[in-house]
Amino acid sequence: MELSGAEILIKSLEDEGVEYIFGYPGGAVLHIYDALFQQDAVKHILVRHEQGATHAADGYARATGLPGVVLVTSGPGATNAVTGIATAYMDSIPMVVISGQVPSAVIGSDAFQEVDMVGISRPCVKHNFLVKDVNLIAETIKKAFYVASTGRPGPVVVDIPKDITDPRIKVPYKYPKKVHIRSYNPAVSGHKGQIKKAVDLMLSAERPIIYSGGGVVLGEASKELTEFSQLLGYPVTNTLMGLGAYPATDKLFVGMLGMHGTYEANMSMHESDLIIAVGARFDDRVTGKLDQFCPYAKIIHIDIDPASISKTVKVDVPIVGEVKPVLEQMIELIKDSKKTPSKKALETWWKQIKDWQSIDCLSYDRESPQIKPQFVIEQLYEVTNGEAFVTSDVGQHQMWAAQYYRFDKPRRWINSGGLGTMGFGLPAAIGVKLAHPKADVACVTGEASIQMCIQELSTALQYKTPIKIVNLNNRYMGMVRQWQEFSYESRYSHSYLDTIPDFVKLAEAYGHVGMRIDKPEEVRPALEKAFAMKDRTVFLDIITDQTENVYPMIESGKAHHDMKLRVTATGTTTDRELA
Amino acid sequence: MRHIISILMENESGALSRVAGLFSARGYNIESLTVAPTEDPSLSRMTLVTRGSDQIIEQITKQLNKLIDVVKLIDLAESAHIERELMLVKVKTTEANREEIRSMTDIFRGRILDITPVTYVIEMTGPSEKLDAFIAAVDPESIIEVVRSGATGISRGEKGLHL
Ligand SMILES: Cc1cc2nc3c(=O)[nH]c(=O)nc-3n(C[C@H](O)[C@H](O)[C@H](O)COP(=O)(O)OP(=O)(O)OC[C@H]3O[C@@H](n4cnc5c(N)ncnc54)[C@H](O)[C@@H]3O)c2cc1C
Ligand SMILES: Cc1ncc(C[n+]2csc(CCOP(=O)(O)OP(=O)(O)O)c2C)c(N)n1
Ligand SMILES: [Mg+2]
């Protein structure tokens, strides 16, 4: 079969099993768009901004585990995609981004719409390619998918000069079944000796805690993590990226840890004598002050990326491997072992944890005449039976969604953790809805974040992806305002948007349903009504308490046991001195 | 501590910038860097001299290994090895210093490659420290130009860095 470069590219995507490609046309990719037009195996989703394409592909990838695919033109198309590529990179999301490039003959001459995409994207991709020969397109695409989706996943950019896709130049096409890259050999099952050593430590721990992260979601090891944890009966905490990997409603779950983690999760970390880190990367939002991090604990760390191990915190038992096979081996060893965890020690430990839990660090004023954002998330949880896919933007609303929506399944909580990209939520929700057309998809956002990719409301109409936008409208960049309140004596420098649009009218202008809710008793009925409209995108503009802050909070530079807690209505602080 | 990291990588146009970019992005220091193709034209060999605590060197080698273009690497400082660097030095010569420069070059086992009525070009190879010592010994006033290749090295014994 003889095909042009453009046809080879599209056929390769088809043969790779790609369902959707998110893109935006332009000069350098016109040959490719022409080839797209003449087939219908690969469906193209036309976004309104290339950043939207990357986030939508990313949302699709997070919801399915399959690589998201993006197609953009050279120059501004490529640079607009960079934020989304960096977002995927920081959270280890598999993605293949195809960017057009100026014709080979003029590369380097400051040609029209030329940027060095390979150079610009280098620091935020797992790998990138410049295709210099039409005969290499199929193999390069295969390699791109292989690299993006194996080992520690990540985005891969394939930059293709226009002449390589010329419809007049046809060459034989065959999509390789397999590729081998001699310098890239991921997928390891973990060192047996280290696994044994880890299990021995686990069975003699007295105050253990399982700290699991995004690696469990990425490695599809939720079932194994659950079995492993329940076999041991140890408390489990999740990072922001790990939420859902362990069922939040289970009694072993002590909530998220870190800067806005629960009191019990952070105290358990601080007092623990054994941290079992599973697919988590000791991010600074999790560790707090490094030299006071888990002062009494030995640390076991399972991670596929050796560079994640002992990067910031020195670990005692490193295990390089995929979480799934490593946990499977551990489960076997624990089952076969004569030794069992000390019942007495564990009882004392759980008693201590229950004591911390009794502080009820997530309580808030339920009697308030204003709408509390936490209440909205709780209602969202109930109305969707805890089964929705929830995307979010970045800010306070993101933390409240993480704290109050109890995710029992992986891949349901979809947010930008590492880069913290405002504008992520709406396009990501479109990608999720395409992947799961029957599921409820909510985008929890703020009035500042939503405006960063609001244009994608138009995409949502064109492709009939009915999502529910829950805008926690506090008339502030709340997260920024909170930091200014705590650290800058309430000097709210530029964290207030003076002219917030009428979101109801805006939603209607885009062809959707808009609702404005400003009383607590309206929240539940509005959510019910919105989710009952199965085929409509609904924008719920919910006017929330402007002064609300996210608690608990470990301010930067502080240790885990040094949390700022909510001051309750009676004026007494729940903060207390701990021995 | 000073480390000499020797890297075997794909001989591709982007490979060098990936390594250089990694060092600048992560704030690692590079003292010197040399790169050339190997006997296998698909591979090139890079030798990189860097300094850092054990923890930083561990991260450097892990991050380098993560680059898809990097096939293999070793930290030469971890075992017995031979280190060499090439240096070319152009010095001003006068009646008074010619003899001294010649004998110093001999002592350091260098060679004089080019002579004009007022200059010498001296070639010298050795561990970087030895080259430093030579420079320190020569009157700084007489030095016109110094060119150094950066260190390269090879391990002792039967083991080697190859595919
Ligand atoms: C406003 C804001 C506030 C935040 N506050 C918090 C907070 O309070 N608490 C919190 O936890 N985070 C918080 N974050 C997120 C934080 O910045 C990090 O993104 C997050 O902590 C990282 O999660 P993780 O450690 O699970 O790592 P991820 O980024 O999910 O990385 C996954 C790790 O698992 C490894 N891995 C991947 N696949 C596999 C596999 N198959 N097998 C084994 N290992 C694998 C990877 O190599 C990597 O080391 C906040 C972010 C924002 C924007
Ligand atoms: C693209 C981008 N720019 C700036 C920031 C810094 N930032 C983090 S949270 C935030 C405010 C978000 O406001 P809003 O969307 O209203 O959410 P809220 O915190 O009020 O819930 C800002 C500006 C960011 N994360 N991303
Ligand atoms: Mg806001």
Q: CB-hemisphere CA count at 13 Å for A469? A: 37
Q: Give the per-residue pLDDT at A576.
A: 43
> Is residue A479 annotated as part of the catalytic site, yes or no?
yes
- The closest CB to that of B18, out of A122, A147, A184, belongs to A122
Q: How confident is the model over A89-100, as a mean pLDDT?
A: 98
Q: How far is the CA of A449 from the centre of ligand 2 (A)?
A: 6
Q: Give the per-residue pLDDT at A1.
A: 84
d(CA A514, CA A505): 7
Mean pLDDT of chain B: 95
Q: Give the per-residue pLDDT at A568.
A: 64
Q: Whose CA is nearest to atom 23 of ligand 1?
A: A241
Q: Give the per-residue pLDDT at A557.
A: 87
**Token pair for A456:** 């994608």
Cβ atoms < 10 Å from Cβ of B11: 18
Substitution target in B22, B65, B66 with the highest count of A β-carbons within 10 Å is B66
Q: Does A163 touch chain B (CB under 8 A)?
A: no
| pLDDT tens-digit series, residues A547-571 | 999 999 999 889 999 999 998 644 4
| pLDDT tens-digit series, residues A413-448 | 999 999 999 999 999 999 999 999 999 999 999 999
Q: B128-132: long-range contacts at Cβ-Cβ below 8 A with a sequence spacing of 24 or more?
A: B128/B32, B128/B49, B128/B83, B128/B85, B131/B85, B131/B87
| pLDDT tens-digit series, residues A380-412 | 999 999 999 999 999 999 999 999 999 999 999
In this prediction, residue A310 has a pLDDT band, given cuts at 50, 70 and 90, of: very high
Q: Give the per-residue pLDDT at A571.
A: 44
Q: Give the per-residue pLDDT at B19.
A: 96
- H helix runs in A262-417, sequence order: 263-271, 284-287, 323-336, 343-357, 373-383, 396-404
DSSP state of A372: P
Mean pLDDT of chain A: 96
> Is residue A113 annotated as part of the catalytic site, yes or no?
yes
Residue A578 has pLDDT above 60, yes or no: no
Q: Give A147's contacts in chain B (Cβ within 8 Å).
A: 68
Pairing of the two strands B43-51 and B32-37 = antiparallel
| Residue B41 C-alpha, separation from nearest chain A C-alpha, in angstroms | 15
In this prediction, residue A343 has a pLDDT band, given cuts at 50, 70 and 90, of: very high
d(CA B139, CA B117): 18
| Residue B23 C-alpha, separation from nearest chain A C-alpha, in angstroms | 11
With 0-12 / 13-18 / 19 or more C-beta atoms within 10 angstroms meaning exposed / middle / buried, residue A73 is buried
Nearest in space to A257 (alpha carbons), one of A266, A249, A270, A246: A266
Q: Give the per-residue pLDDT at B135.
A: 97
Residue B147 has pLDDT above 60, yes or no: yes
Q: Give A126's contacts in chain B (Cβ within 8 Å).
A: 68
Q: Give the per-residue pLDDT at A498.
A: 86
Does ipTM surpass 0.85 in this model?
yes
Q: How confident is the model over A493-503, as a mean pLDDT?
A: 94
Q: List A residues 302-341 in contact with B (Cβ-Cβ < 8 A).
A: 305-307, 310-311, 314
Q: Give the per-residue pLDDT at A381.
A: 98
d(CA A524, CA A468): 14
Q: How far is the CA of A392 from the centre of ligand 2 (A)?
A: 11
